[in-house]
Amino acid sequence: MTISMSKKALWLAPLSAAMLMLAGCNNSAAPEESAEADTATEAPLDIKIATESSYKPFSYTDADGKLIGYEIELVDALCAQMKAECEVISQDWDGLIPGLNAQKFDAAIAGMSITPERQEVVDFSDPYFYSGIILIGKKGDDLSVDALAGQPIASQRSTVSSQYLQDEHADADIKLYDTQDNAYLDLTSGRVRGMMSDKVTGTDWLKTEAGKDYEIKGQEISSDDDAMGIAFRKGDPLAAKFNAALAELRDNGTYDQITGSYFGTSSTAAAQ
């Protein structure tokens, strides 16, 4: 009986060892297979992005009410690079940061300059554009940046342009508007003598029929707040995803193509 059991044990030993080896192989492959399955089933990002739709050429609406412009094309390219499903919605300028922090949307892009005050309440992507400030007035008028005291000067509310007026020309008769378009209306109607504007949007307006009798007064004004970025809620990892996508668009030439088609230059440095 003892000899028979010993023989059986010797016969079973190799079989048991083989079974253990197979089990070990199966266990080592399981995490890899599971990770591949998770990647395959990972849902695409679903992102809602707000813009202010009267800021030509950055973002505005066409005759059919469709959002178009430089920032809209840039967002489309960024979302395609991230393989994300993105919805771009129009929002009043004053409601962009409050709406973002109230989680009404996930990001905001609207020619928003990266300022220390805004950085206290939101995070920004890496800069995607740079632009200074200009003073616009009627051709032939001797309006000057050095002599704005008492003069009615328009600007869009809560912008770098309006902040510059309030900081550097508080003695001017500053008129603030909810949109650029409403400021232009008061300029052409004579209710204000000049308008302080972002360089790109102001220059674009001067090319229109409404702006043909107006010009830039003096030189472009540069500040520490020339860089524009996409805004996100504080600590949101989405900012890093957009930064990575923006870097990839720069590397593959898509960023240069989009920027060049709007501003005739393939770099933000030249645009500045």
pLDDT score recorded for residue 54: 84
One-character DSSP codes across 133-197: EEEEEETT----TT--TT-EEEEETTSHHHHHHHHH-TTSEEEEESSHHHHHHHHHHTSSSEEEE
Domains in the chain with CATH codes: 46-130+226-271 (3.40.190.10), 133-216 (3.40.190.10)
Which residue reads 């590397």 in tokens?
251
Please compute Rg for the chain using Cα positions: 29
d(CA 154, CA 156): 7
pLDDT in tens, 225-260: 688 999 999 999 999 999 999 999 999 999 999 998
CA 159, 53, 212 angle in degrees (round to 5)?
80
For the chain, 272 residues long, give each residue's pLDDT as a single digit of tens: 443 444 344 334 444 444 444 444 444 444 444 444 444 445 568 999 999 988 888 999 999 999 999 999 999 999 999 999 999 999 999 999 999 999 999 999 998 989 999 999 999 999 999 888 999 999 999 999 999 999 999 999 988 899 999 999 999 999 999 988 999 999 999 999 999 998 888 998 999 999 999 999 999 888 766 889 999 999 999 999 999 999 999 999 999 999 988 887 544 444 44
Between CA 117 and CA 234, with CA 239 as vertex, the angle to 5 degrees is 45
121 neighbors 210 (Cβ within 8 angstroms): no
